[in-house]
Structure 1
Amino acid sequence: GIFDSATVDTNILISEKAQNAHQLRAVTLSADGLENMSDYVRQNVIDIDYKLDETWAILSQIEQSIKQKIEAVGTPLKEWNIKINRGILTGLNEAFIITKEKRDELVEKDPKSDEIIRPILRGRDISKNSYEWAGLYIIATFPSRHYDIDDFPAVRDYLLTFDKRKLEQSGQKDIDGIKGNNARKKTNNRWFEVQDSIAYWDDFLKRKIVFSRISGTEPKFSLDTENHFTNDTGYIISGEHLDYLLDMLVSDIIWFAFKTYYMGGGIDKEFKVNNLLNLPVPLPSTDAIKLTDEEMKFIAENIE
């Protein structure tokens, strides 16, 4: 945002042909440094060491120290005995996500409908250490379950109230010549099934951590023991040491570390879940992260 007339972020890279020293000198330029930029750079430049297979960020000395101490005792989540899975992508939420009133109506018509209708949390429903269920359900016709929709006539007839051509996973565009009147993304799945296979469907029925990938200013992780499913803005973590892991994920130290060092790019306040797998968190059997009072104060002042 240095140039008022520019519509994209500006990055100028100057390089020379030389042996790679795996070091950078960098500065984060703020608005108050624009007037005397050369002086600002001289006073605020920092040296960064990095490895070729790691992301790098412009960090102050205290931020580098915090990062090193966390990584010294932390184990990346991808090495934990856990699984992180995305919620359910339906391809047409208005058909597959229903209210409690509609769920009750379908079950009254055919009690068997209850077998494939499950309560669902959206990412927006999940907060730090809590969630607020909005009374919504998903028609959980997962391709991996190989359902016959004729076994659920009330659900079948309800889905058919939507244009079946839009439910078809054919990828057809502009049905009836109407721009934007599209079928769902092309897959090998059937018209009444959700878009993804969801082979891990039984993990939703386990004790698990649910979280929103659109984090805002707080770590939106919560424990779910009520068998909620999630949509594609909500993710789940299943596996070992969930209570301990939840405490870590919502702690100031780990949340600061994730936001500062590992979160990665995305839309505003959204993080990439693959980057979460790289987050180093101490295992229950390892030493705790030991930071100085100055470092803890710095985290407290920069946590948001």
Structure 2
Amino acid sequence: MSAQVLTANFTDSEQLRSIDETLPSIGFTMPVSALSPEGWTLERPEVLALMAKLRQAGKPLGEYVQGKFYYGIKTGLNEAFVIDEATRSRLIDEDPSSAEIIKPWLRGRDIRKWKAQWAGLYLISIDSSSNKEWPWSMAETEAMARPLFAEEYPAIHRHLSHWENKLRKRDDQGKFWWELRACVYWSEFERTKIVYPDIAQGAKFSWDSSKSHLGNTAYFIPTEETWLVGLLNSKVLWWFYGSITSSIRGGFVRYFSQYMEQLPIPTASDLQKAPIIELVLRILANPDSPDVPHLEAEIDRLVYELYGLTKEEIELVEGNV
């Protein structure tokens, strides 16, 4: 029989103050062989077994989406680039071409489970000349470029000129002061995508088909697979995520890509994905419906089947989410 070590996970300081009383009730043993030099997880054997089973069911999310976890935009001066509906309307009234570069804007705080609650904000989206060819992009100097920008988007030019001094001081800018910082994945914002906040209490994955651009308090995964948002919002993956990362005060977690990429995506046929897609679409059609909890429970049931979970494993998940 291999050597065993008594282990416990203390979740608050009160447990440590009364360790003699607490340890017998929350402690468990695990083999010393599980504590490898490469690192270890101090979890009960049944938790480790379930995590291994989930991993073996398919492939990591990072591999599934080919590493496409993208961060939102850092404008360097939101007060200039992020505008409300009234400002958008004024800019378009002054010059209809302004509409070409004004995009819906989502912040991390706007993102809810399933569907974001858009706050009516927009981004003046002027990609860096290093990413996009504008009429002024090839100009050798700002003195040559600025008249071309003013001619192409006169209303936007006047608007941004109010903040010119501050915009010039930004670290995050493109070739010219009126441009946003260089970003190799600008076109991905225009795609359908799964969006999620950088910090959240619970699963907060939302489907976006509005071509919204995101602020730097949010992440996104460009994809056309609606079933994937159902999977990410499931109890199983929330349980798994909580097992590989630590929560901060209030039960919040950070959705860092280094952890997101580890989420196990089960191998599933189109036939198996179809009912999940149907349920997700029903939720997206009316995310405030009183039927949503029932639809979520049905998604969880289908996800349990995809992973082949037993009754005991389901109880382990549901008892810890």
TM-score by length of 2: 0.73
Q: Which residue of 2 is the match for residue 34 of structure 1?
A: 17
Q: Which residue of 1 is the match for residue 98 of structure 2?
A: 113
Q: Shift of the alpha carbon at 1:121? A: 1.2
Q: Which residue of 2 is the match for residue 171 of structure 1?
A: none
Equivalent in 225, 232, 237 of residue 254 of structure 1: 237
Equivalent in 9, 25, 29 of residue 46 of structure 1: 29
Q: Which residue of 2 is the match for residue 78 of structure 1?
A: 62
Task: Report the Cα distance in structure 2 between the residues aligned to 1:186 and 1:249, rounded to whole angstroms.
Answer: 32
Q: Shift of the alpha carbon at 1:145? A: 1.9
Structure 1 segments of 4+ aligned residues over 4 angstroms from their partners: 50-53, 264-268
Does the CA-based 8 Å contact 1:96-1:138 persist in structure 2? Answer: yes
Task: Report the Cα distance in structure 1 between the residues aligned to 2:26 and 2:209, rounded to whole angstroms.
Answer: 52
Structure 1: gaps spanning 5 or more residues: 1-20, 169-182
Q: Which residue of 1 is the match for residue 46 of structure 2?
A: 62
Pairing 1:301–2:319 present: yes
Q: Shift of the alpha carbon at 1:77? A: 1.3
Does the CA-based 8 Å contact 2:105-2:122 persist in structure 1? Answer: yes
Task: Report the Cα distance in structure 2 between the residues aligned to 1:188 and 1:120, rounded to whole angstroms.
Answer: 19
Return closer, same or farther for 1:192/1:211 CA change in 2, 3 Å cut-off: same
Other structure's SS at 1:145 match: coil
Question: What number of residue pairs does the alignment pair up?
Answer: 262
Bigger Cα displacement from structure 2, 227-236 vs 290-299: 290-299
Task: Report the Cα distance in structure 2 between the residues aligned to 1:52 and 1:279, rounded to whole angstroms.
Answer: 23
Return closer, same or farther for 1:294/1:226 CA change in 2, 3 Å cut-off: same
For 1:106, the aligned partner's letter is L
Other structure's SS at 1:128 match: coil
- Percent identity, aligned pairs only? 29
For 2:235, the aligned partner's letter is D
Q: Which residue of 1 is the match for residue 153 of structure 2?
A: 152
Structure 2: gaps spanning 5 or more residues: 137-148, 273-304
Q: Which residue of 2 is the match for residue 223 of structure 1?
A: 207
Return closer, same or farther for 1:251/1:112 CA change in 2, 3 Å cut-off: same
Task: Report the Cα distance in structure 2 between the residues aligned to 1:26 and 1:108, rounded to whole angstroms.
Answer: 67
1:203-225: per-residue Cα shift (whole Å, max 9, x none)?
12112211112121x21111112
Q: Which residue of 1 is the match for residue 165 of structure 2?
A: 165
TM-score by length of 1: 0.76
1:116-153: per-residue Cα shift (whole Å, max 9, x none)?
11111111111111111111100101111243332212
Task: Report the Cα distance in structure 2 between the residues aligned to 1:108 and 1:224, rounded to whole angstroms.
Answer: 28
Q: CA RMSD in A?
A: 2.8
Task: Report the Cα distance in structure 2 between the residues aligned to 1:24 and 1:193, rounded to whole angstroms.
Answer: 58
Q: Shift of the alpha carbon at 1:249? A: 0.3
Does the CA-based 8 Å contact 1:264-1:271 persist in structure 2? Answer: no
Other structure's SS at 1:223 match: strand
